[in-house]
Structure 1
Amino acid sequence: MSNRKYQEKAIESLLYLSGVTAVVILFLICIFLFKDGLALFQNYSLSDFLLGTKWYPTSQPSQFGLLPLLIGSMVVTFGAIIFSVPLGIAVAIYISELAGEKEADLLKPLVEILAGIPSVVYGFFGLVVLVPLLQDLLDLPTGQNALAGSIMLGIMALPTIISMSEDAISSVPRSIKDGSLALGSTEWQTINKVVLPAALSGISAAVMLGIGRAIGETMTVMMVTGNTAIIPGFPEGFFEPVRTMTATIALEMGEVPQGSEHFYALFAIGSVLFITTFITNIVAEYIKRKYKFNLGAGQ
């Protein structure tokens, strides 16, 4: 009995140490990122960085305006959300509630395979297939634009949204569904009025994680969006080349002198990305807790 207690204590200590290690590593990453990011503002105005409309790092004087990169990221992410969220939830509903057992067993592994495809493969597919297709169908000067980036990011976010939403829908107790059907509801009414509200916490978490995947993606958007640092309009901006924050870091970090103003500007962009992702996770957790509380109160 004492040996078992020692084993349990050792496992608890190991898990505690793992959690502390993860927090320490995250803290060190924050220090490393923000230390170099804040160094930019010793000689460059914070307002010029956040509100500047031009990103010309090699001009004299250099201009590090974040706005075209930030808006470009937002346009591409917004397009990805519009594409992936309705489709992802619809597929999750079909797999969980409507598909037969054999069909569901076939679709689930296919969705998981999509999640394992490297982003550079998605980018290559978009560059070779999607970009020329959009250019021909929409009669555009170039197919490398925000729309191509949105579609590719939406496809990449689909496995996360489908898998997590399907798990949330499947976890709804069967007794709740049977009770709704026994009261005379149709299958669609049961899905719409009973199953989806009960699974809303998990679905919202899936959507937010999908958004986080879209915000942080680099290689795919770098290959298909055209990488032009201009402020896109709306909605015509979807058909224009844009540059995202992640693509800017990937394209320029390997060529800048370490310790230069341009070097610190790229770290400042990374800091903005970190803060954006952090806020997204906080919002996801808030939504998840809110719906859990509301559902608990309703029961």
Structure 2
Amino acid sequence: MAEQKRPLSEDLKKPLPKILQAERRGRVLTYVSSWVLLLILFSLLIFITSKGAAPFISGEVSFAEFFSTKWNPGENSYGALSFILGSLIVSVCAAIVSAPLGIGAAIFMTEIAPKWGRKILQPATEILVGIPSVVYGFVGLTVVVPFIREQFGGLGFGLLAGVIVLSIMILPTIVSISVDTLQSIPRHLREGSYALGATRWQTISRLLLRTSLPGLMTGVVLGMARAFGEALAVQMVIGNSPNLPFNLLTPISTLTSIITLNMGNTVQGSTYNSILWSMALILLLMTLLFVVLIRWITKRREQS
């Protein structure tokens, strides 16, 4: 005799299987983690924005004074333009130096080097990523700065030393992202190019580079973002003087170096302290700009 089917309502009254309960716990944990992350992010944005905007809201410092080149806290002159330009120029110059080297190294690792070469270069790149910034700064202080002093004169501290150190620091980032981008290109595109009679260099220059350009630019922008926010390595080699960054051999300062050098020596709530928070706000806005730029490049890559 066939077994009589139970009503569906009785099955619904039974407790959920363990797998469904685990899924529900995982969903709740995911939602909680996401909201905690958003809460921390918006709390930081609100806190830094309120601190950084305080001197302008209270009228202690005007925007014209802040974006000037006169920096003398002893005389209540808080012009941060030289520091902003220093951060921008050292980051852009480091990216200009590292971008062709990083993309070239990625092309060599993915398209030219034999398998044993990749096994050596890939771990070497990962090791460079993990080296602390203080090590890069110390190497720059003991090797790069004396070399510049002997070859070009001057003190050795300045924009050129900062660019060299930052170029080496962001190079592994550009290489890693460029390698991932080139490896994501389907193999049949290369085979089709070779089947049509193209050489390896023609395939690389006219097919692979054009196809992977958005991903390669993402790596360059990420490298610039790291260079812009770097503090310790740059602080050790640039000289930390409030000069405009228009001479490679002249000591300069960046936003990160001026903040780390002076934040602990200011009184909480003073104008000097608030101006340093304003510089931190500039760093935050520039970081958000880099993130938006990366998202825009990634979106264009997906559309193409």
Map 1:205-284 to 2 at 5 A. 205-233=218-246, 237-284=247-294
Shift of 1:112: 0.6
TM-score with structure 1 setting the length:
0.93
Contact 1:79 1:147 in 2 (8 A): no
What RMSD in Å do the two structures reach over aligned CA positions? 1.3
Contact 2:48 2:280 in 1 (8 A): yes
Contact 2:54 2:274 in 1 (8 A): yes
Corresponding residue number in structure 2 for 1:172? 185
Contact 1:160 1:209 in 2 (8 A): yes
Corresponding residue number in structure 2 for 1:52? 68
Corresponding residue number in structure 1 for 2:30? 15
Is the aligned partner of 1:100 residue 2:114? yes
Shift of 1:232: 2.7
Shift of 1:124: 0.5
Q: Which moved more, 1:118-127 or 1:17-26?
A: 17-26
Map 1:6-85 to 2 at 5 A. 6-41=21-56, 42-57=58-73, 59-60=74-75, 62-85=76-99
Q: 2:133 aligns with which of 119, 142, 157?
A: 119
Letter in 2 for 1:157: I
Q: Percent identity?
A: 38
**Aligned counterparts of 2:123 and 2:65: Cα–Cα separation in 1:** 45
TM-score with structure 2 setting the length:
0.91
Q: Deviations over 1:236-283 (max 9, x none)?
A: x22211100000000000111111111101000000110011011111
Contact 2:243 2:250 in 1 (8 A): no
Letter in 1 for 2:221: M
Letter in 1 for 2:282: V
Contact 1:123 1:221 in 2 (8 A): yes
Shift of 1:3: 2.1
Q: Which moved more, 1:259-268 or 1:192-201?
A: 192-201
Letter in 2 for 1:103: G
Map 1:192-207 to 2 at 5 A. 192-207=205-220
- Structure 2 unaligned runs (5+)? 1-15
Residues matched between the structures, number: 288
- Structure 1 unaligned runs (5+)? none
**Aligned counterparts of 1:109 and 1:152: Cα–Cα separation in 2:** 21
Contact 2:134 2:233 in 1 (8 A): yes
Partner SS, residue 218 of structure 2: helix
Is the aligned partner of 1:5 residue 2:20? yes
